[in-house]
Amino acid sequence: AKCGMIPVVAIYSTFLQRAYDMIIQDVAMLHLHVIFAVDRAGLVGEDGETHHGVFDVGFLRQVPGLTILCPACRAELKEMLTWAVRKQDGPVAIRYPRGSAYQGLQEHQAPVEHGKSEVIHRGKKIAVLGVGSMIPSCLEVCKGLKEDGFDPTFVNVRFVKPLDVKLLDELAKDHSLFATVEENVKSGGYGEHVSAYMEACHPEVRVLSASVWDRFVPQGNVDSLRARIGLGVADIRQAIEDSEELKRQ
């Protein structure tokens, strides 16, 4: 990177933890253009509890000058990698899950812009902000909310860092509840970041964070693990509908 090349470091999220010191001192402090392709971000199922990639958002978000992207589907991953190589400067992390790439939302392929989320549907009162691998689940959650008479805004977050505060400010005008959904631990995650911003700038809007519990997640099928820790579609939908903000409306 110092000589002008652009390294793309493909590595599992769980193994990237072991390189934290090098990320900070050898890459970020020098503001080098290094791209971390963070594989197996989120729950990984049968690989076992040591391989769940649920801490990377928290430890990467602390690093100054490092941009973090979370693609919603295969096409978006390709576009983000191209963007990171050709248009970005400094360190970039692109996190994506284990398994077959999601093929949906092909009709929603707005160009990647630094720090900008993609609004899939603009509704009112409720905003569901999905991060990366949780986009398919968020789509199902929004469908269920519509069946129950709500009109939720659906956002593909894209950038965990920097935070799209312009969109949050805009949504705060006519939304009373933000539901953030991510396959990362709550502490240091995207939802916590959104909560801190909204508490400081828009305290009237409540943030409901659906994330990984504060315990080590055991081995198991991804769908069953999500249901076990409250990240299943039914769990997220129920938590939103049970919120006090909706009950008062």
Which is nearest to 205 in space by CA: 215, 197, 213, 214? 197
Mean pLDDT for the chain overall: 93
Cα of 145 vs its chain's centroid, Å: 21
**Residue 94: strand pairing partners:** 37, 69
Q: Both tokens of residue 159?
A: 């950038």
Position 188 pLDDT exceeds 80: yes
Cβ partners under 8 Å of residue 201, min gap 6: 165, 168, 169, 172
Position 99 pLDDT exceeds 90: no
Residue range 30-72, pLDDT digits in tens: 999 999 999 999 999 888 889 999 999 999 999 999 999 999 9
Residue range 13-32, pLDDT digits in tens: 999 999 999 999 999 999 99
- Burial class for 236, CB neighbours closer than 10 Å (0-12, 13-18, 19+): buried
Q: How confident is the model at residue 245 (pLDDT cuts 50, 70, 90)?
A: low
Position 249 pLDDT exceeds 60: no
Query: What's the sign of the alpha-carbon dihedral 116, 118, 124, 128?
Result: negative
Least confident of 101-110, 129-138, 176-185: 101-110
Proportion of the chain above pLDDT 70, given as a percent: 98
Q: Which amino acid is at 175?
A: H
Residue range 128-157, pLDDT digits in tens: 999 999 999 999 999 999 999 999 999 999
- In the numeric block, the tokens 């943030």 are attached to 207
Residue 109 per-residue DSSP state: -
**Residue 68 dihedral angles phi and psi, to the nearest 5°:** -125, 125
